[in-house]
């Protein structure tokens, strides 16, 4: 099993550009998450999904969109990139609720917006 994979690993965007961060998991997990990690700030939840077709906002959803058309994939869309979106983005998945189950994280995407 590859676990949770993310592409790309690095990306530089100009202000106003758009992009999609890809996330795929091969563990047949129901729950998937997108976090951003800024230096010294821990992880902040952007969006999460409890199954195909079901998504919900986390703590910091502004400027982002998600979709979940399959169990395996959970792409994160950035529209009109801003310097405040410079961060490291992690996708994670779990079989059930995080209170009782392990979240498996991908290796991250380092995004810089100039």
Partner 1 sequence: TQLLEQSPQFLSIQEGENLTVYCNSSSVFSSLQWYRQEPGEGPVLLVTVVTGGEVKKLKRLTFQFGDARKDSSLHITAAQPGDTGLYLCAGARSGYELNFGKGTSLLVTP
Stretch that binds partner 1, among 17-25, 34-42, 61-69, 77-85 (CB under 8 A): 34-42
Q: How many residues bind partner 1 (CB under 8 A)?
A: 27
Q: From the CB of 80, what's the least distance to partner 1, in Å? A: 26
Tell me if 55 contacts partner 1 by CB under 8 A.
no
- CB nearer to partner 1: give 4 or 81: 4
Tell me if 107 contacts partner 1 by CB under 8 A.
yes
* Of the candidate residues 13, 36, 90, 111, the single one contacting partner 1 (CB under 8 A): 90
- Going through the chain in order, the beta strands assigned E by DSSP cover 4-7, 10-13, 19-25, 31-37, 43-51, 54-57, 64-66, 76-78, 87-94, 104-105, 109-113
């Amino acid at each position: 099993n590859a676990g949770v994979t993310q592409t790309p690993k690095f990306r530089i965007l100009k202000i106003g550009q758009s992009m999609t961060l890809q996330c795929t998991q091969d563990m047949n997990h129901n729950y998937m998450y997108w976090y951003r990690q800024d230096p010294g700030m821990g992880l902040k939840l952007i969006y999460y999904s409890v199954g195909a077709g079901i998504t919900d906002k986390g703590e910091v959803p502004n400027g982002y969109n998600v979709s979940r058309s399959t169990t395996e994939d959970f792409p994160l869309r950035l529209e009109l990139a801003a310097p405040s979106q410079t961060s490291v983005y992690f996708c994670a998945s779990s079989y059930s609720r995080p209170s009782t189950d392990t979240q498996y994280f991908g290796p991250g995407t380092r995004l810089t917006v100039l």
